[in-house]
Amino acid sequence: MIDNLWAGWRGRYLSSLTESASGSSVFSRILESGLSDEETYIVHRSATAFVILNAYPYSVGHSMVLPYRQIADLDDLSAEETTDLWNTVSRVCRAVRREYAPHGINVGINMGAASGGSVNEHLHVHVVPRWHGDSNFLTATANAKAIPEALDVTAARLRAALRGSDSASDPA
């Protein structure tokens, strides 16, 4: 039997992500907002991509790597964007390993409306740290997940870890 999981916040969240009249994704609107990286939880910027924390993380350190340019598919990336995006994903993985010491990391992309992603118009790569037992009793008994660190603390930790890593020389 399948149980229903009530997530009343999700409808409002998904509605807020829909494209604006200008066609801008939530990520483009964040970039255009004029707000600081601290206010928007952007933890790193490279030449053609940036790293932002997921506002509704699956685990501590759940980050997303995106091109600045709003595109929907990997095929739409330029050669420079492709290289920068994947170098940045690797750099985030190294920083997460160094800062949080997870037992594993999920890296994934949802492309297209049927893929399960909620922001289809702006390609983004999820980097999700995972630990043995991170689906604990709370998830099974209370339909809830405990995220034991505030986003501003996670942002500060990842910013520092990313500043301390050089993508070319960091062996982690």
Residue with tokens 């020389």: 169
Helices (H), the chain: 8-17, 26-32, 37-40, 79-100, 137-142, 151-163
Q: How far is CA 82 from the centre of its chain?
A: 17
User: By the 8 A CB rule, do 74 and 167 touch?
Assistant: no
Residue with tokens 């505030």: 150
Instruction: Please pick, among 44, 62, 124, 126, the residue that the annotation labels catalytic.
Output: 124
Determine whether 124 is an active site residue. yes
Which residues are catalytically annotated?
124
